[in-house]
Amino acid sequence: MTRSKPVVFFRSALFMLLAAASVLVHAILVMLFSVFARPLTYRVVISYGQQFMWLLKHVVGLDYVVHGAENVPEENTVVYLRHESVWETIAELVLFPQQCWVLKHELMWVPFIGWALLALKPIAIDRKARGTALEQVVRQGKERLAEGLWVMIFPEGTRVAPTESRRYGLSGAVLAREANKKVLPVAHNAGDFWPRRSFMKYPGTVEVFIGPLIETYGRAPAAINRDAKAWIDGQLEQLRGQPLRAPG
């Protein structure tokens, strides 16, 4: 599919218009369905994720392929997902079972979207509350894992450029160890097609790599992160043919 800038701009604009309408409709539906059990409400979330990915494929021309799906365990766990783009924040909905996400508490006050998120019981970090962000992630994360939810973690804590490698935060590793769960590392190259802070979305195929589970029992959080980061960075370096670098 063509990558000429006028065509890419038009397709990106059309996608954003349709995606905005979709998120508004689904946010309202989530709030309406929130009076029912969470599994029923979550079906609306899955519908949104599927529609989002359909629009990307048929409007933008951006599809995806998954390698290592056999590594996804039957039991819920903590997922480390490389954070390069907006793409993975939605793709995770269709890639993994019923889940929750770590996000800033302030997002709960965003009209419609925030209200819908609140109904889905995310791990909301309140910087003004007592206790550190790590303590909040571990406490709430253990509750969500006990409920059978998967906990999705962006270990960098912020979006990174495709060629960047940032230090991982410790909260995901501490949570996994204390909840007796393993860490599932996930790498992808979505940033090559939907760059951070960019309106443009380019056609192509995002490659997603799901790695083997990383043991956490009796291990230091730094060691857990080291193994997860080595696997994710290694996949990306092999895919892109260049080493990742620290920002700055």
The pLDDT of residue 27 is above 80: yes
Exposure string of 14-27, with b = 16+ CB inside 10 Å and e = fewer, is ebeebbeebbeebb
Least confident of 32-41, 85-94, 120-129, 212-221: 120-129
Query: Once rounded to an integer, what is the mean pLDDT over residues 103-109?
Result: 83
Cα separation, 93 vs 91, whole angstroms = 5
Cα separation, 214 vs 218, whole angstroms = 12
Cα separation, 146 vs 63, whole angstroms = 34
- CA angle centred on 58, ends 202 and 60, rounded to 5°: 20
The pLDDT of residue 56 is above 60: yes
Please answer whether residues 7 and 203 qualify as being in contact, where contact means their C-beta atoms are separated by less than 8 angstroms.
no
Residue 139 lies in a domain: yes
pLDDT band at 1 (very low <50, low <70, confident <90, very high): low
Q: Given this model, what pLDDT does residue 99 score?
A: 96
Rounded to the nearest integer, the mean pLDDT of the chain is 93
Least confident of 54-58, 106-110, 183-187: 106-110
Please answer whether residues 191 and 52 qualify as being in contact, where contact means their C-beta atoms are separated by less than 8 angstroms.
no
Q: What pairing do the DSSP bridges indicate for beta strands 150-153 and 78-81?
A: parallel
Residue 26 lies in a domain: no
How many helices (H) and strands (E) are present in the chain, helices listed first?
7, 7
pLDDT band at 108 (very low <50, low <70, confident <90, very high): confident
Residue 16 lies in a domain: no
Q: Given this model, what pLDDT does residue 246 score?
A: 86
Look up tokens 């979505």; give the residue: 190
The pLDDT of residue 128 is above 80: no
pLDDT band at 105 (very low <50, low <70, confident <90, very high): confident
Q: Given this model, what pLDDT does residue 129 score?
A: 67
Q: Which backbone phi and psi does 7 adopt, to 5 degrees?
A: -70, -45
Residue 134 lies in a domain: yes
CA distances from 74 to 90, 151, 212, 213 (A): 21, 14, 13, 12
Residue 94 lies in a domain: yes
pLDDT tens digits for range 144-174: 999 999 999 999 989 999 999 999 999 999 9
Residue 53 lies in a domain: no
Q: Look up the pTM and report it.
A: 0.93
Q: Given this model, what pLDDT does residue 36 score?
A: 85
Domains identified in the chain, total number:
1
Residue 55 lies in a domain: no
The pLDDT of residue 2 is above 60: no
Domain that holds residue 99: 62-240
Residue 210 lies in a domain: yes
Which comes out higher in pLDDT, residue 3 or 185? 185
Least confident of 32-46, 50-64, 114-128, 192-206: 114-128
pLDDT band at 40 (very low <50, low <70, confident <90, very high): confident
Q: Given this model, what pLDDT does residue 248 score?
A: 66
The pLDDT of residue 130 is above 70: no
